[in-house]
Amino acid sequence: MKATAHLTGIALAALCATAAATGAPGAQAQTTFKFGHVGEPGSLFETSAKEFARCANEAFGDKAEVQVFGSSQLGNDQELLQKLKLGQVQFSLPSSVMSSVSDTFGVFEMPYIIQNRDHIRRVSQQMGDVFQEAAGSKGYRILAFWENGFRNITNNTRPIVKPEDLEGLKLRTPKGAWRVKMFQAYGANPSPMAFSEVFTALQTGVMDGQENPLAQIWSAKFPEVQKYLSMTGHVYTPGYILTTQQQYDSWSEELRGAIDDCAVSTQEFVYETAAQLDRDLVGKIEEMGTEVNEADKQAFIDASTSIYDEFAASVEGGEELVEKIQALAQGS
C-alpha cells in the first residue's frame, strides 16, 4: 500500500507539472524562460539580455515570460552550458567558453582575425551555418550572434606595449584552450578562471591581470584593483544567445517565432551599444586612476604566427575556416 501511495503521489506531481506547462484548467498557463549570464549590472551582457527579454515579453503577451538572471546567479559559463542541457535554464550567453564545446569556435580565439563589427556581421550572415552545425553537434542551438567584444589587458605590474611585456605575468583567461595557448606564446602565465572569481583574484594578487572587453572591465569594477589598461584589442569574442535543440523543438511555433525574431533583431542593438561603450569607457576608466596606453598591435600580430599554424594543423578544416573569415574582412 505504501508503495502504491508513493507511486500515486509521483503520478499526481507529474500530472500537476504537465498541467502547469500546458495551461490546463486551474494551472498557471504562462511559460517561464530563464536567461542566465555572467555579466554584472551595467555590462553589455546585461543590457543585451534585458533588451531581448523586453522584445520577447512584448511579443509573448500573457503566454510566456523571459526572466533574466545576471552576475552568475544561475552559474558560471560552464555550469550554464550544463543547465541548458538539463532544461534548468532556457537561454545563456556564452562567449569564449564555446571553444570548449567545439574547436570550430576556436577560430574566434585567433588574434586579430576579426577586424571590426562590419566584419563580424558578414561572418555571422555568410558563415552562420558553420557555427550552427558545430553547436548542433553537441545538442545546442545558436539563436543569434551577439557580442562580448574586443579584448584588452589590465594588470598591476606594467603597461603592456609588446608581447614581451607579458613575460611571466599571471593572467586570468576564460575557459578555452586557444586563449591559454595564445598567451603562453606571448610569454605570459595564463590560467583559466570563472569570471565571478576574477575581481577577488586581482584584489588579492592571485592574478596580476586579466583580459576582457571594456564593457566587462568597467562593469566588473576591475579598475578599482588594476593599475594599467593596455589597449591591445587582441581578440574579438562574439557572444552567442544559446539554447538547446531539444528545448527549442519543445516550444510552440508561435513562441519559437517570437524568440527567433527577437534574438536576431537584438543583434544590431547589441553592436550599436557595444560601439558606444567602447567610445565612452576609456575616459571613465582613466578617471578611476588607471593608466591607459596603446599597444603595438603589429608586434602582437607578428608574434601570433605560431598559434595560427597550430590551429590550422590541429583542427579539421581549420586553415580553410581562417581563410574564409579573413576573406570577409573587406566585404564580398
Mind listing the pLDDT tens digit for each residue in 36-54? 999 999 999 999 999 999 9
Q: Which three cell numbers stand for residue 116?
A: 571590426
C-alpha–C-alpha distance, residues 245 and 137, integer Å? 10
C-alpha–C-alpha distance, residues 79 and 62, integer Å? 30
C-alpha–C-alpha distance, residues 220 and 64, integer Å? 31
Model confidence at 7, in pLDDT bands (50, 70, 90)?
A: very low
Mean pLDDT of 278-282: 97
Q: Which three cell numbers stand for residue 254?
A: 508561435
Q: Which three cell numbers stand for residue 14?
A: 507529474
- What is the widest separation between alpha-carbon atoms in the chain? 77
C-alpha–C-alpha distance, residues 142 and 129, integer Å? 10
Enumerate the H helices of 137-208 as residue ranges: 177-185, 198-204
**Residue 96 C-beta-side C-alpha neighbours within 13 Å:** 26
Domain boundaries, the chain: 30-327
- For residue 231, the model assigns a pLDDT of 98
Average pLDDT, the chain: 92
Mean pLDDT of 120-147: 98
Q: Which CATH architecture has domain 30-327?
A: 3-Layer(aba) Sandwich (3.40)
C-alpha–C-alpha distance, residues 12 and 9, integer Å? 5
Kindly report, residue by residue over 202-261, the tens digit of the pLDDT. Answer: 999 999 999 999 999 999 999 999 999 999 999 999 999 999 999 999 999 999 999 999
pTM of the model: 0.88
Percentage of residues in the chain having pLDDT higher than 70: 91
**Residue 128 C-beta-side C-alpha neighbours within 13 Å:** 14
- For residue 256, the model assigns a pLDDT of 98
- For residue 14, the model assigns a pLDDT of 37
